[in-house]
A and B are shown apart, each in its own frame.
Chain A
Amino acid sequence: MIIGVVKQYIYFLLTAGVAIIGTVFLTSNARSLDVAPLNDSHKARIVSNCTSAKASLQQLHRSDASLRVNRGQLYESISTKLMARLNSRIALNRLDGSELVAATVRYEQGLSNFRDNYQAYEEQLTALLRVNCQKQPEQFYLQVLDVRERRKAVAWTIGELNRYTAEYYQIFERFAGGYRVTTNAEAES
């Protein structure tokens, strides 16, 4: 009897574990789409071209993955190896680098947005590649539109990051200009 209870308890734990894992995967991949009616000729066009469309999407998936890693490394290195270090150096020399610090915070926020937007885009693209476009042309088409918007969001955050990178440089130039004026004035006096 006791063995039965222990066995039941273990079965319960195993079932609960499998259920939890399944729920996590299903909810992470679940997509709710309102399928708008497409006309028959459009569906036929999707079905006939979906193999080549999927091949293009797979190629895009691969190239975007390497682009994500390369750009991520580049943006990270700007933040950690240049911005943070100059800010630290300015603070150690008891100079006012508050504008540069504020620009760094904006840049870091932009970098965080880039990571989040890319993750959302990649997850949706992976889900899109799992859709059987021969059997579900409508769903495939609507998911393409959704993923396209998410990719645009990634491009937008890249634009923002580039803007913050340039902004930091402008502030640095102002800081350097102010520093030179101050040191020249001190030298003359």
Chain B
Amino acid sequence: MSDDDGITTGERIPSLMAEHRLTILICLSIVIALVFTAVGLTLYNTSGTAQLDLSRPGFEGIDKQIKSHKADAIEYPATGPINEETLLQFDALYKKQLENVTSVNAFGGDPMAPDALGIDDALFEESE
């Protein structure tokens, strides 16, 4: 198949691509960037990373409430003998963390109860 000037389509495509290669490069770059951004954002949202990201809008200043665990970072050596001394060492370290875990009633209470938020059915409550 050829056009009026005798140039076939097979010859025209490479010449046009060469002529507009900068445009094609930019367009392809944009498409690739969009695809990678979409993949990255999807992973960010689905993996649970978003929930740990305290730099999100609305969470300003929250990072100050994050306790630094460097000071009380405790590590039990993974190698070495098992004897009375090392068992006592582990006992002390673990007991400390166990106290940390049980000392706070995390996510306890019911702050989302409708009456706590003032959106309960007051008339219904009164009639009960």
Contacts and interface: CB of A to CB of B under 8 A. Distances in A.
Q: Which of B78, B84, B114, B117 has the most CB of A within 10 A?
A: B117
B33 to A, nearest CB: 10
Majority secondary structure of chain A interface residues (helix, strand, loop or mixed): helix
Contacts of A18: 34
Interface range on chain A: under 10, 10 to 19, 20 to 34, or 35 or more?
Answer: 35 or more
Contacts of A119: 48, 51
B51 A68 contact: yes
Contact of A74 (B48, B62, B100): B100
Given A89-B78, A93-B81, A176 B91 contact: yes
A147 B48 contact: no
Majority secondary structure of chain B interface residues (helix, strand, loop or mixed): helix
Interface in A162-177: 162, 165-166, 168-169, 172-173, 176
Given A42-B124, A78-B101, A147 B112 contact: yes
Nearest to B52: A69
A39 B101 CA distance: 44
Given A81-B74, A169-B98, 16 more contacts: A24-B38, A42-B121, A49-B118, A64-B107, A65-B62, A69-B52, A81-B73, A81-B76, A82-B74, A82-B93, A86-B90, A141-B119, A144-B112, A144-B117, A161-B101, A179-B82
Interface of B: 9, 12-13, 16-17, 20, 24, 27, 30-31, 34-35, 37-38, 41-42, 45-46, 48, 50-52, 54, 58-59, 62, 65-67, 69, 73-84, 86-87, 90-91, 93-95, 97-98, 100-102, 106-108, 110-114, 116-124
